[in-house]
């Protein structure tokens, strides 16, 4: 007896064409994930329209109201219905999907928003009359006359009212409002010449300004630096290095923070491609690789980097949200990021983050025991004229203190050595100053022209020894030890091909791998500095990194970990009393060695305190 196939229905399903409303609701699921996505699409449209002032009003985390007002070119009354049609856009003509110079080009945002919310567009083009159109749940109304001086106002109310199930996936109003704020800040970083205002009008009334960034003036880097200071904070701007590099038609510019200004999570990493904020695994991996030798695994760099290139070199049409990109030559973009950042970090020399000094000063300031201002134990200083009169009225000899009345300890001047005259540079000649003493046999106190420096002698010397070892390894190469019996590792053909593509890089690090037929590989040599290693486990770790990040630093990380331990054991130990010439020699070597401002784990090696800050601690300011 033949049984019917349970997977085949007697009533064969019929293929039917979905109506426009259903199509737009489906598209909205990809384009508009949450209120922040709607804000992103509307603000990008305003930027494409040439707006110089953009105001965003939200209510209840954008769930009940999103209003974007701009002073752009506007939309004519005749084009308003077409603007709400699917795949209708003024950005491209459809002949070349790779040569895209605008944020938007798909023509999906407005019809998608109108399909899941109540959307009203009021606009006025130059030389025309203002008009308004409304669409709710995909149902479009007729165009009506309106009152508007110029530009466009897009108002979206009751987002996802037409798809109630989607509302269940919304987060709290506060979380959604924070996501909108982050989105606006990213777009503000990309457009320093545009004024952005974000206002929360929940509950009615004028509301409150959540974020405001006025238009910045000056050249590219001045305007960008000022905008980043406003968006990311003054501390980031003070501790960021300027990046500007070009390679084969791709330009990288922006600012990257010093390693000592790191974060506990990757929350301060902002990447842009042709002005478009993106979240790209390859680019974030390149950023992590550039700081690989300066930060521990639990610390993350902070940076705002912009890549500009010919639009034909990058595909932005990977996802409807346009947050992912694909480079024609990803290795070129990655290499540019790594090399440019490492050059900038090397040029920074011994510089460390100013936040280290701020934290030190904060730790030194005692909090008042009782409410109210702290008690001041120093008498008010008299005016210079009053001091002059007072000094003259006292016994002879005090009048000479009218210009300088601070007490100083004068060191005896040693007799000149007739054999060799030693010249010690003054503090003003030296960035890290001249050593004045040692505290607890671990911290060197140095005097600079305008302050003082406290150096952790062990951490500083550890970094110096580590840099020397790396230089020697780079010059002489990594010694490899041949395995008596090559280790055979069975892999899939795909993994084998991925591993063979990076064998040249691995060989330079002392790891020699050869194909062994099929999907197997033979590990013939391993880095000698690692000693006895599990070759199979190392190969699998390399493959995991290649699959996740497109590149692997497993071998290099293990080698540099060994060098770091060697540097730690070979450096000046804590508790050792140093002579004055040893302390000064350490300071001079720090000034001449790149990256000496942080130890091998990204912690600062010294703290610099300005004299003005020290005087404030004692109420002298």
Percentage, residues of the chain above pLDDT 70: 74
In terms of residues, how long is the chain?
621
Q: What percent of the chain has pLDDT over 90?
A: 24
Q: What is the model's pLDDT at position 83?
A: 83
What's the pLDDT at 409? 34
**Pair 41, 68: CB distance under 8 Å:** no
For the stretch 318-349, pLDDT in tens is 665 667 788 888 888 888 999 999 888 888 76
pLDDT of residue 458: 85
Lowest-confidence range among 356-365, 471-480, 611-620? 356-365
Q: Indicate if the pLDDT at residue 420 is higher than 70.
A: no
- With H, G, I as helix, E, B as strand and everything else as coil, classify residue 165: helix
pLDDT above 90: residue 442: no
Give residue 356's pLDDT band: very low, low, confident or very high (50, 70, 90): low
List of residues 6+ apart from 186 with CB closer than 8 A? 270, 277
In this predicted structure, what is the pLDDT of residue 103? 63
The mean pLDDT value of the chain amounts to 79
Higher pLDDT, 286 or 88: 286
pLDDT, tens digit (0-9, with 9 covering 90-100), for 485-509: 889 998 888 888 888 888 887 887 7
Residue 421 has pLDDT above 90, yes or no: no
| Tens digits of residue pLDDT in 36-78 | 989 998 999 899 889 999 999 999 999 999 999 999 999 999 8
Query: How many other C-beta atoms are found inside a 10 Å radius of the C-beta of residue 171?
Result: 14
Bridge-based pairing state of the strands 195-200 and 53-59: parallel
Only one residue has tokens 């997977």, namely 7
- Tokens matching residue 445: 């106190």
Nearest to 155 by CA among 121, 198, 204: 121
Is the Cα torsion angle 410, 414, 415, 421 positive or negative in sign?
Answer: negative
- Backbone φ/ψ region at 207: left (φ over 0), alpha (ψ -120 to 50), beta: left
242-253 pLDDT tens trace: 999 999 989 999
> What pLDDT shows up at residue 21?
66
CA dist., res. 56 & res. 209, Å (int)? 10
- The secondary structure of residue 573, as a DSSP letter, is P
Q: What does the DSSP assignment read for 86-139?
A: TT--SS--SS-SS---SS--SS-HHHHHHHHSEEEEEEE-TTS--EEEEEETTE
Which domains are seen in the chain, by residue range?
20-208 (3.30.565.10), 220-348 (3.30.230.10), 434-621 (3.30.1540.20)
Q: What pLDDT is recorded for position 7? A: 56
What pLDDT is recorded for position 499? Answer: 87
Per-range mean pLDDT, top range of 153-162, 470-479, 532-541: 153-162
Q: How far apart are CA 382 and CA 389, in angstroms?
A: 11
Taking residues 131-153, report their average pLDDT.
Answer: 91
At a CB cut-off of 8 Å and minimum separation 6, what does 86 contact? Answer: 20, 23, 24, 27, 107, 108, 111
Distances (CA, A) of 33 to 51, 156, 176, 341, 557: 25, 15, 11, 34, 39
How far apart, in whole angstroms, are the C-alpha atoms of residue 457 and residue 587? 9
């Amino acid at each position: 007896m033949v049984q019917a196939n349970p997977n085949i229905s007697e009533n064969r399903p019929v293929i039917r064409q979905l109506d426009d409303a259903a199509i737009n609701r489906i598209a909205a699921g990809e384009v508009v994930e949450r209120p922040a996505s709607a804000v992103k699409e509307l603000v990008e449209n305003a930027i494409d329209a040439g707006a110089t002032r953009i105001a965003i009003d939200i209510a209840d985390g954008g769930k009940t109201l999103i209003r974007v007002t701009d002073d752009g070119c506007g939309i004519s009354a005749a084009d308003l219905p077409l603007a709400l049609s699917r795949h209708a856009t003024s950005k491209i003509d459809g002949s070349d999907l790779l040569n895209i110079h605008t944020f938007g080009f798909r023509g999906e945002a407005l019809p998608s928003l109108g399909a899941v919310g109540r959307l009203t567009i009021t606009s006025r083009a130059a030389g025309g009359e203002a008009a308004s159109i409304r669409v709710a749940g995909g149902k479009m109304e007729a165009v009506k006359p309106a009152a508007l001086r110029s530009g466009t106002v897009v108002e979206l109310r009751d987002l996802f009212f037409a798809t109630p199930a989607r509302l269940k996936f919304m987060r709290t109003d506060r979380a959604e409002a924070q996501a909108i704020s982050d989105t606006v800040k990213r777009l503000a970083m990309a457009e320093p010449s545009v004024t952005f205002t974000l206002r929360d009008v929940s509950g009615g009334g004028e509301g409150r300004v959540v974020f405001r960034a006025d238009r910045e003036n000056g050249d590219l880097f001045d305007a960008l630096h000022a905008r980043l200071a406003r968006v990311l904070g003054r501390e980031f701007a003070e501790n960021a290095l300027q990046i500007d590099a070009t390679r084969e038609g791709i330009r990288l510019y922006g600012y990257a923070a010093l390693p000592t200004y790191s974060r506990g999570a990757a929350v301060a990493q902002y990447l842009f491609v042709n002005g478009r904020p993106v979240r790209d695994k390859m680019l974030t991996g390149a950023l992590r690789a550039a700081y690989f030798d300066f930060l521990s695994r639990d610390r993350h760099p902070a940076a705002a980097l912009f890549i500009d290139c010919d639009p034909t070199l990058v595909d932005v049409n990977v996802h409807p949200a346009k947050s992912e990109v694909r480079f024609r030559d990803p290795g070129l973009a990655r290499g540019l990021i790594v090399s440019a950042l490492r050059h900038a970090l090397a040029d920074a020399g011994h510089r460390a983050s100013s936040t280290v000094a701020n934290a030190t000063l904060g730790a030194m300031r005692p909090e008042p025991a009782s409410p109210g201002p702290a008690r001041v134990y120093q008498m008010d200083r008299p005016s210079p004229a009053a001091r002059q009169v007072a000094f003259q009225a006292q016994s002879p000899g005090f009048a000479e203190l009218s210009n300088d009345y601070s007490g100083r300890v004068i060191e005896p001047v040693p007799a000149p050595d007739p054999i060799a005259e030693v010249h010690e540079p003054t503090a003003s000649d030296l960035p890290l100053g001249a050593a004045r003493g040692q505290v607890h046999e671990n911290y060197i106190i140095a005097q600079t022209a305008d302050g003082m420096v406290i150096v952790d002698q062990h951490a500083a010397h550890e970094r110096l020894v580590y840099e020397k070892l790396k230089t020697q390894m780079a010059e002489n190469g990594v010694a490899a030890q041949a395995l008596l019996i090559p280790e055979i590792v069975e892999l899939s053909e795909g993994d084998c091909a991925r591993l063979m593509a990076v064998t040249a890089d691995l060989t330079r690090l002392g790891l020699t791998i050869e194909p062994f037929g099929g999907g197997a590989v033979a590990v013939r040599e391993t880095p000698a500095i690692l000693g006895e290693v599990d070759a199979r486990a190392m190969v699998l770790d390399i493959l995991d990194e290649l699959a996740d990040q497109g590149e692997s630093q497993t071998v290099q990380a293990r080698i540099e970990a060994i060098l770091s331990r060697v540097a730690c054991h070979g450096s000046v130990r804590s508790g050792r009393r140093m002579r004055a010439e040893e302390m000064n020699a350490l300071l001079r070597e720090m000034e001449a060695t790149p990256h000496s401002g942080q130890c091998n784990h990204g912690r600062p090696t010294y703290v610099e305190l300005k004299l003005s800050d020290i005087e404030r601690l004692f109420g002298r300011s």
